[in-house]
Amino acid sequence: MSKLVSAAHAASLIKDGMVVSVSSSSGLGCPDAVLAAIGERFDTEGHPKAITTLHPIAAGDMYGIKGIDHLAKPGLLKRTLCGSYPSGPSSAEPPQIWKMIGDNSVAAYNVPSGILFDMHREAAAKRPGVLTKVGLDTFADPRHQGCAMNEAAGEPIVSVQQFDGEEWLYFRAIVPNVSIIRATSADERGNLTYEHEGAYLGGLEQALAARNNGGIVIAQVKRVVENGTLKPHDVRVPGVLVDHIVVAPDQLQTTQTPYDPAISGEIFRPLSTFRTPEMNVQKVIARRVAMELRDGMAVNIGFGISANVPRILLEEGQHGKVTWVIEQGAVGGVPLLDFKFGCASNAEAIMPSPHQFIYFQAGGFDASLLSFLQIDRHGSVNVSKLSARPHVTAGAGGFVDITSRAKKIVFSGFFNAGAKLSLADGGIRIDQEGKVKKVVEEVEHISFSGKRAVAQGQDITYVTERCVMRLTPDGLMVTELAPGIDLERDVLAQADIPLAIANDLKVTPASLYQDRPIGLSLNGGASLGGAHGLSLNGGASLGGAHG
């Protein structure tokens, strides 16, 4: 019996009240044709009703791949658990899913991506749920929001449990009735290969979770090939787990990208083809972040200013000294920017995303470079919620998993919001002060717990255009000041909380503000900026208790 079906037939298999798991990371690997068919069926038939969807990373974007927005219809979608949600500029029309979250017409949860993958693995093995320390003292903790995004999310999905003398978060496994995954090729038996994909994501775990519990697995692919023509080592999801195949020959590789063979590792791009950042304030911040790295590190990066750090290393002739690891699964190469974020060119390997999260959750890597929306007096960081403009942030994604035990984290961003800044006289000039303070008494949403970081001895740094701060047991300490910045007027007066000042307050190296390579070396021994230079060998004093 052929497994090949139309998208409309696949949509007819979704029954009222089912739990549906969807494999996707924004536009990357999104089975958009199947999701569109489900939405179209609801528009014409009024079914399926009241479904729950699970999205370990995210489904869809605001730039042409609707993903979860195909399902964001009152009556169709009852509950959704997502690592993140479609996001975009505040000037853009919010996606339908955000409108439903705002008016409480869907019970919405933001669950750390790695934990959602763990929940699938436990469901697949018919174990009750996940015991984890990931998320303690963050918005995932039931003593805060318990992952709930609105009042409609009243049913608890997480509790605090004592086990073996320690405190843990317990997430009950949720069994999917249907898993919708995506690949490049399927043979007639349903074996799936991913040769044009930018990541494997978690399709295998999601398929196992449905199949082992009597559910069905729908695979969207670009093409069907003859049995026996796929190499067994290339098959990522075996056909015994796949019930139905939907062919969508025009599926995009990722957001606004039909196909780029360097993303799927089929070719390697010359390093000269990667653009380096233009000279501006963001580049200065990225340069300063790069100075925190050392030769041989395995380093995770997130969206925002820190995403440019690999390009800084390229420009400085240091590419290859650091191995980049991103949550979608790429290891090595050059992580990509903008619409292709989450993919890498020239990767050394692509791991399944659930396995990459195991690596992150246990702190097996060396450092993470991430952004911030707010920082509070405890050193806690918010990246996951901005009530005034909710669709500007996607939610936490893998942020909580990545930061929970990371040995070293460098957060980067602007000191406040809305300031007009320029580079002048070898430093920073504030042409107009911003109106929104980002260093606050309490963050709106705890995406990262400064309290736990101190208790665990994590090395935490915050790099802004005005100063560098370190997290100490007593709170935030300013350890370095940018040239052209007045400590009292531009830093202390622009924070809602008192900031400690290091006894040996440094000045950021002047070379960072010049439009030429800065002479960065991650090998150790070199220094930048004369008397105020910071050593790159890991032994320099950066102020106060962190000297």
| 224/248 Cα distance (integer angstroms) | 10
- Tokens 């000045």, located at residue: 507
Contacts of 47 (CB under 8 A, 6+ apart): 15, 16, 41
Task: Name residue, tokens 């000039």.
Answer: 429
Contact 311, 280 (CB under 8 A): no
CA atoms within 13 A on the CB side of 234: 15
The label of the residue with tokens 């005005």 reads 466
Residues acting as catalytic residues: 327
Q: Could you count the other beta carbons within 10 Å of the beta carbon of residue 141?
A: 18
- Residue-by-residue DSSP string for 20-86: EEE--BTTBT--HHHHHHHHHHHHHH--S-SEEEEESS----SSS--GGGGT--TTTEEEEEES---
Q: Yes or no: say if 519 and 538 are a contact pair by the CB < 8 Å rule.
A: no
Neighbouring-strand partners of residue 81:
54, 109
Would you say 16 and 41 are in contact if contact means Cβ atoms under 8 Å apart? no
Gap between the Cα atoms of 476 and 481, Å rounded = 14
CA–CA–CA angle 18, 24, 26 (5° rounding): 120
Where do we find the tokens 């390579």?
Answer: 517
DSSP 274-306: SPPPPSSHHHHHHHHHHTT--TT-EEEE-SSGG
Which residues, including other chains, have CB under 8 Å from residue 531's CB and lie 6 or more apart? none
99 vs 105: CA distance, rounded Å: 9
Burial class of residue 43, CB neighbours in 10 A (0-12, 13-18, 19+):
exposed
The span from the CA of 487 to the CA of 291, in Å, is 22
Q: Are 508 and 480 in contact (CB under 8 A)?
A: yes
Give the dihedral sign, CA 319/460/462/361.
positive
- CA dihedral for 238, 242, 245, 251, sign (positive or negative): negative
Cα gap 391→527, rounded to integer Å? 42
DSSP H or E stretch at residue 210: helix 203-211
Residue located via tokens 């021994």: 525
Q: Between helices 113-124 and 353-361, what is the axis angle to 10°?
A: 110
- β-bridge pairing 223-225 and 185-187: parallel
Peptide bond before residue 261 is cis, with ω within 30 degrees of 0: no
- 195 burial (CB, 10 Å; 0-12 / 13-18 / 19+) is middle
Q: At what angle do helices 203-211 and 113-124 cross, to 10 degrees?
A: 40
